[in-house]
Amino acid sequence: MQDTAMVRNIAVIGHGNSGKTSLVEAMLYTAGKINRLGKVDDGNSSMDYDDEEIKRKISISSSFSNYAWKKNEIYLIDTPGDDSFFNEAISAAHVCDGAVFVVGAVLGVKGSTKKFADLIAENSLPAMIVISKMDRERADFQKTFSQIKESLPVSPVIVQLPIGQEDSFSGIVDLPSNKAFTFESGGKGGLKEIDIPADLTDEVAAARESLMEGVAETDEELIEKFLEEGELTEEDLKAGLKKAVADGEVSPVCVACATQNYGTSAILDAINNFMPSPADVAPRQGLNSATEEEVECVPSADAPFTGFVFKTMADPYAGRLTLFRVLSGTLSGESFYNANKKTSERFGNLFLIEGKEQRQVDSVGPGAIVAVAKLKETTTGDTLCNQDNPIILEAPAPLSPVITYAVSAKKGDEEKLFSSLSRMLDEDLSLKMSREQQTGETLVSGMSQVHLEVVGNIIQRKFGVEMELNLPKIPYMETIKGTAKAQGRHKKQSGGRGQFGDCWIEVSPNPGDKFEFIDKIVGGVIPQQYRPAVEKGIQEAMDRGVLAGYPVTDVKVTLYDGSYHTVDSSEMAFKIAGSLAFKQAAPAAGIVLLEPIMEMVVTVGKDSVGDIMGDLNSRRGRVLGMDSGPKGEIVTAQVPMAEIQTYANELTSMTGGLGSFTLNFSHYEEVPTQITEKIVAERAADK
């Protein structure tokens, strides 16, 4: 068992193509965890091992590993940088005690960089920053550092200055120790001490002074010492930095080139020296489910066991793999208690996930990220604990899906497809499945078209069923605008007993109530036993629609007259008569098409507001208002569903990935005449 103070668990976070996975690969290689330095572009990195990740050359799911470095045990979560899989970063940020925030030296701070920086800030996550890809053409350390300082909610302090950049990137100056190092050849990640280059002397002195000031300002004792003596010792700087990082007051900035394995050992040292252990951060708060009292998860090996489930992985062979972070206590044995489900769960072995491999362990303590297989009741967001200490921890809310498609199995194996999708729902909380009763379609909602395509590819590979995506049918409705009367008369004589049913109805609008039937027959002109058949015939005609074949709603029907035949009348005859009467009355009353209107809340930067409002107007939308929020300008609007089926893709294009939106059904509204004519013509052609 490892001393808790010697444990770190780190989420590696950053925008797409910033070099996160390559950095993790270099860290694992330098620490001796893996024996070959793989590359994302070559499809042989240890963390992007999934076929879909290799094909797309991006991470689509968090991957896990661990390493030992100078007596410390570090657990890593490598998170995706694509917005489609942002939920993975949310989960990792929730369970880790620190983040390595990776920013590319060429691209610098992009729109989505702010999104990840906000995630770190919202979780009060201690973070260090790695400016990566320092060897690339147009790499610019100072420009990138300035962008971070000016536009992100972090307080960066430089702890490593690069010696050269682009193809001359050859070493670093470590400011706390005031020493310079060159990178060892051969890609082993090591450093060799050299004298500080003469052309950097002034820059190093200024940067070290700035670092001392930044650290001193976070502690009263250090500021006094700095003012009295004019500087801080290396020990003061390192101790002050560690405390300031744990308190979220500063973020140390390091540099690296992961693909050449330059600077990696210095980053491993920085994680040990500056990032907090579970013992350095405030204990997590939970609720005792038995007493309803607030309790702490003390990050000690001797405390009662508590673990939080943050991810579930579906495997066609191993079954369901449940990943959790140990927050307190020690876990060994063969069972634990699920406080959310109020049940005990037995498990076989404990595993540490190491890329695509699994390593069995006997016991784990605070800070460990561990997996067990084939739990029956446990799902993502549950808290695991001892039964005599039942605690429930708050789970982060998953992002709401923003794009919806109708799904079907290409070769007709619908049952297999839906059971596979159900397993994917356990694994991916940003995925939702529903059924549209009116259209009969099964709908799957996700974060983007790419997200849903990836889900389809995974299902095909893992479960052997091909998923087809189509834009969903719009659930239009029909209604009437006025009042009309009509007769429905069904008479058929073809030898033997005939059929006779005759009714008069009045139809009128009934806003807010789908259907109301009023029986006003007097004098027995239609016997009691036939009147329900008239109602049933009307309802069937309403379900089939009159104008374009969509269900009719919000109608009041009054049955007020009719006639019958003592021999030939029957329930079936009056059912047909009721249907005929409605089909004649509805057009006379002025039948119109209704469409679903969605309420949208769009959050964008100030620069994009005009474009967004103009675009919403072009989609027949009504802007209801505008407000300012912590993440940008908030535009609220009502827009027809038919106009925004692929809005997620278009918003990304308009805002460079910076915009976001939520969508909720609001109400139904009449479709404009010219659009109604087009829909009616399309429906007629389909039939």
Instruction: Dump the DSSP string for 307-333.
Output: EEEEEEEEETTTEEEEEEEEEES-B-S
Instruction: Tell me what pLDDT residue 317 has.
Output: 67
Task: Give how far the C-alpha of residue 210 lies from the chain's centroid of Cα atoms, to the nearest Å.
Answer: 39
What is the rounded CA–CA span in Å between residue 572 and residue 200? 97
For residue 316, pLDDT beyond 80: no
What is the rounded CA–CA span in Å between residue 49 and residue 43? 7
286: Cβ contacts below 8 Å, ≥ 6 apart: 294, 295, 296, 297, 306, 383, 391, 392, 393, 394
What is the rounded CA–CA span in Å between residue 574 and residue 63? 66
For residue 634, pLDDT beyond 90: yes
For residue 481, pLDDT beyond 70: yes
* Domains detected in the chain: 4-170+250-280 (3.40.50.300), 284-392 (2.40.30.10), 403-454 (3.30.70.870), 478-589 (3.30.230.10), 594-686 (3.30.70.240)
Q: What is the pLDDT of residues 413-471, one digit of tens each?
A: 888 898 889 888 888 889 999 988 888 889 999 988 889 999 998 888 888 899 999 99
Instruction: Tell me what pLDDT residue 44 has.
Output: 77
- 515, with CB counted inside 10 A (0-12, 13-18, 19+), is middle
Instruction: Tell me what pLDDT residue 684 has.
Output: 86
Nearest to residue 379, comparing CAs of 303, 430, 320?
320
Confidence class of residue 229 from pLDDT cuts 50, 70 and 90?
confident
Task: For residues 527-548, give the mean pLDDT.
Answer: 95
Confidence class of residue 2 from pLDDT cuts 50, 70 and 90?
low
Helix (H) / strand (E) element for 348: namely none
Confidence class of residue 378 from pLDDT cuts 50, 70 and 90?
very high
CA torsion sign, 18 to 24 to 25 to 31?
A: positive
Q: What is the pLDDT of residues 241-253, one digit of tens each?
A: 999 999 999 999 9
Q: What is the pLDDT of residues 48-88, one digit of tens each?
A: 777 777 777 788 889 999 999 999 999 999 999 888 899 99
Q: What is the pLDDT of residues 162-174, one digit of tens each?
A: 999 999 999 999 9
Task: For residues 273-299, give the mean pLDDT.
Answer: 92
Tell me if residue 6 falls in helix, strand or coil. Answer: helix
Q: What is the pLDDT of residues 341-363, one digit of tens each?
A: 999 999 988 999 998 888 999 99
Instruction: Tell me what pLDDT residue 638 has.
Output: 97
Confidence class of residue 313 from pLDDT cuts 50, 70 and 90?
confident
For residue 528, pLDDT beyond 60: yes
Of the ranges 379-393, 543-557, 673-687, which one carries the lowest mean pLDDT score?
673-687
- Looking at the chain, the whole-number percentage of residues with pLDDT higher than 70 is 98
What type of residue sits at position 609?
V
- 186, with CB counted inside 10 A (0-12, 13-18, 19+), is exposed
Of the ranges 51-65, 368-382, 668-682, which one carries the lowest mean pLDDT score?
51-65
The tokens of 247 are what? 């308190």
DSSP 432: E
443: Cβ contacts below 8 Å, ≥ 6 apart: 404, 405, 406, 407, 433, 434, 435, 436, 472
For residue 632, pLDDT beyond 70: yes
Three state DSSP letters for 39-83: CCCCCCCCCCCCHHHHHHCCCCCCEEEEEEECCEEEEEEECCCCH
The per-residue pLDDT of the chain, averaged, comes to 91
- Looking at the chain, the whole-number percentage of residues with pLDDT higher than 90 is 72
For residue 549, pLDDT beyond 60: yes
Instruction: Tell me what pLDDT residue 139 has.
Output: 94
499-509, strands of its sheet edge to edge = 484-492, 499-509, 555-563, 515-519
Confidence class of residue 582 from pLDDT cuts 50, 70 and 90?
very high
Confidence class of residue 573 from pLDDT cuts 50, 70 and 90?
very high
Task: Give how far the C-alpha of residue 105 lies from the chain's centroid of Cα atoms, to the nearest Å.
Answer: 27
Q: What is the pLDDT of residues 74-126, one digit of tens each?
A: 999 999 988 889 999 999 999 999 999 999 999 999 878 988 999 999 999 99
For residue 1, pLDDT beyond 60: no
